[in-house]
Amino acid sequence: MGRNTASTDVDVDTTTTHDRAAATTTAPAGTARAVPRARAAFALLGTAQITLIYTLAATTVPLPRIAHDFALQRADVILLSAAYGLTFAGLLLFGGRLADRHGGRRALTAGLLLFTAASLAAPLAPGIDTLLAARFAQGAGAALVAPAAMAVLRALFPSPAAYGRAMATWGGLSVLGATAGNLLSGVVSALLSWRWALAVPPAVALVVLVLAPRLLPDTTPSRGRSLDLPGAVLATAGISLASYGLVVTDAHPWTSATVLVPLLAGLLLLLAFPLVERRTRDPLLPPRFLLDRSRVGALAAIALTACGTATTFVLLSLHFQQVLDWSPLRTSTAFVPYAVVLIAAGRLAGPLTARRGARAVTAGGLAVAAVGIALLALAGLEADVPYALGALPGLVLLAAGSAGSFAAGAVLATEGVPASQAGLAGGVLNTAMEFGPTALFALLLTLGDDAASLAATAVAFTAVALLHRRRPARSRP
């Protein structure tokens, strides 16, 4: 899946203009061999990224079956659904620092080893405690793999033009992984067992581990950089606690101690984080990194798009199964058109971004997705409206718009980032994808009505799209 998506979309350019001129006269054969090798390396990294997000979504559809097999209470179900995302989102910034400090390929290998070991334990778990521990450990490994993969990607495509084209493809891989997780986990769970759905990540991760030393370039570590442990503790604990507080609002009122204690503690730690970073000589997240308004706007677009797709999948899955009484298998197949359009639009997003510009494509993608979500709010959740007239048109437009928003947003978010901060950029980008949806999704659910939640999401998409139509002055980090 990663190879087919990535290898045909990236116009590989692994050398500078001067290097290409020299290679033409001195080593044409070697240069020719470098092109397919770089594409294969990109496909390998893309496969790893898709697998990380597949793992995040792999328990969504089969969660009721897992709860039945382990006789779980509601609190256990909520914790299981959030476990992977809590450590994934919380450790991303620190994972990015480790990737920059020790080198992308070395950090990628370490993260894959942890991710693979935990992923092997998940489908074999005899009870909820083992499964929870495996999911937490999977998230920790993923938090190192995701930014390390982007650090290797930066080394793989050193020229800004080639890196921008690569990022246009990379931006769509996460939503593709989420879609694959929802689709495949539902189908496999219905035909076999939820355990087989959780057996996919370790199989893919083992392949990546074997091929990584052969295909991926080594990256230069920044040995002089400190780990900034105070910043890492504040960021990790703040994001994890705030995320947990938001997640449990599904089962507890906002005024309960179960929600308020972790939520307020997390927010206080996140407020303390920039204060500590300003006094640190080598901060985990340099304040200047987020002074670029284009980058902040791109991160907002990515977080909102991730939230919109996650919200739509959850609400439609519940509607199909609880209101229409569809089986998990039929529910999964209802999202197949979404996946097809997403793949097709993802192939077009990169060239379109190169021609029209990342800002315009981000705005256009958000606008198209807003129309799709609005259609879902109006007709997609009506029991008496056929699927082909209600949910399907909205899903198609949402897929097309999300592909453009993710692809172009990833280009904007990483534009102008030096190679020494590639891991940092990966950590920030993936944090927006993971923490943003958690926070926004919890706020949307407070509306209490599914159609109202989708309508509010459509309004938010429109607002951010309009902001991207304006061209702010850039300030480099």
Contact 183, 335 (CB under 8 A): yes
Evaluate if residue 280 carries a pLDDT over 50: yes
Q: What is the pLDDT of residues 34-45, one digit of tens each?
A: 567 788 888 899
Helix (H, G, I), strand (E, B) or coil at 283: coil
Question: pLDDT-derived band of residue 109, with 50, 70 and 90 as boundaries?
Answer: very high
Q: Rounded distance, CA 120 to CA 12, Å?
A: 34
- What pLDDT is attached to residue 4? 40
The per-residue pLDDT of the chain, averaged, comes to: 80
The dihedral through the CA atoms of 248, 252, 254, 260 has a sign that is negative
Contact 267, 323 (CB under 8 A): no
- What does the pLDDT average to over 356-378? 89
- What pLDDT is attached to residue 27? 39
The class (CATH top level) of 2-9+32-214+229-469 is mainly alpha
Give the helix/strand (H/E) hosting 361. Answer: helix 358-375
- What pLDDT is attached to residue 5? 40
Q: What is the pLDDT of residues 391-401, one digit of tens each?
A: 899 999 999 99
Contact 140, 87 (CB under 8 A): yes
- What does the pLDDT average to over 412-430? 80
Q: Rounded distance, CA 252 to CA 246, Å?
A: 10
Q: Give the number of other CB atoms < 10 A from CB of residue 248.
A: 19
Q: Give the number of other CB atoms < 10 A from CB of residue 388.
A: 9
Burial class (CB in 10 A: 0-12, 13-18, 19+), 21: exposed
Q: What is the pLDDT of residues 163-206, one digit of tens each?
A: 777 887 787 777 778 777 777 877 887 788 889 989 999 999 99
CB-side neighbour CA atoms (13 Å) of 145: 30
Tokens 């510009």 belong to residue: 357
- What pLDDT is attached to residue 101? 83
Question: pLDDT-derived band of residue 136, with 50, 70 and 90 as boundaries?
Answer: very high
